[in-house]
Copies of this chain bind each other. A is one copy, B any other.
Amino acid sequence: MPKNDLLLTACRREPTPRTPVWIMRQAGRYLPQYRAVRARTDFLSLCKSPELAAEVTLQPVELLGVDAAIIFSDILLPAEAMGLSLSLDDAGPHFADPIRSAADVARLAIPDPERELRFVGEALRLTKRELAERVPLIGFTGAPFTLAAYMIEGGSTKNFLRTKRFLYEEPRLAEQLFEKLTQTLALSLRAQIRAGADLVQVFDSWGGELSPADFERWSLPYLSRLVEAAHAEGAPAILFATGASTLLERLARTGADVVGLDWRIEPDVARARLGAGVGIQGNLDPCALFLPDDELEARILDTLRRAGPVGHIFNLGHGILPPTQPEKARFMVERVHALSERLRAERGATP
């Protein structure tokens, strides 16, 4: 059990002396120390080098004082391990051989995470050792729908038409694809937990592009199986989907311990809809880190007040942006700690 178990306690919706905080993409380009490592290698090679991945994973713990480490990796690596050819360019990730036909789906393997994705487990084991139980370690995967969308589109898209047409025109084939993805990702989550992850987050980055009816059919059942996989290994699961404010109740139905919020909804509004049976994570606009300190502090305080002291993990509502000043991120972490302690003291002092 990590000495700082704030995050795990919040996942159980038990009281904590202060609100835990971590930052999506906290190991990333906004940190000069990260850029120094990246200058020596490309992004995918960094993901696949356990020593370097562990090094950048630890950076924000030491530099910012966040209450968790999240393993440095990429949600598309399991798709590569399934047999697709992954590359990254300025426009984002790209698959040279996208999924379009029955033969494409048939060709996909269900990789053994301790073989084809062994570098992830190695990075987790190394990080876990170097963390020495200072803070919990988060593992993660993408959601089956999000990975399927990348695999079907092959690259970036505005409207996900190709993905939706695949679901609408080839539903049986799509189910086969989702089945393979879900098995792959469930195995990956279980392996990550066995390699040292104390909890996991599932990113359904594109789930919010689906209508509620399509989300119920094409994302929800598969997300539930990933949550089950984490629970089978005794680890809590956080579920985060961008632009999915209308889907929050459904996300909670997966049995996830915590539902992540993007910045488009006030935490109290989300709480009122979700009830006390699930935690919430978030949700400061990443652009708020460009506000003057006093206005940033006011927004942090507002977020803490609206979210309440129990079952809340502070985070941004999306990944931290590369132009962010690291001092602003450090300021945010420090303020979350101080303000959340102060709010608890005020609350305790009120009869």
Contacts and interface: CB of A to CB of B under 8 A. Distances in A.
A159 B212 contact: no
Given A211-B264, A213-B299, A161 B246 contact: no
A16 B323 CA distance: 53
Contacts of A302: 213
A103 interface: no
Nearest to A209: B264
A259 to B, nearest CB: 14
A295 interface: yes
Among A160, A211, A288, A299: residue with most chain B CB under 10 A: A211
A228 interface: no
A318 to B, nearest CB: 8
A306 to B, nearest CB: 10
A243 B243 CA distance: 7
A212 B288 CA distance: 13
A262 to B, nearest CB: 9
A214 interface: yes
A286 interface: yes
B287 A212 contact: no
Interface string A227-263: 0000000000000000101110000000000000001
A339 interface: no
A212 B303 CA distance: 12
A290 B246 contact: no
A159 B161 CA distance: 22
Given A246-B269, A286-B159, A264 B164 contact: no
Interface string A134-173: 0000000000000000000000000111001100110000
B246 A264 contact: yes
Interface string A165-191: 100110000000000000000000000
Nearest to A295: B168
21 contacts: A159-B286, A159-B318, A159-B321, A161-B321, A161-B323, A164-B285, A164-B290, A165-B290, A168-B287, A168-B290, A168-B292, A168-B295, A169-B290, A212-B266, A213-B299, A214-B285, A243-B243, A243-B264, A246-B264, A246-B266, A247-B264
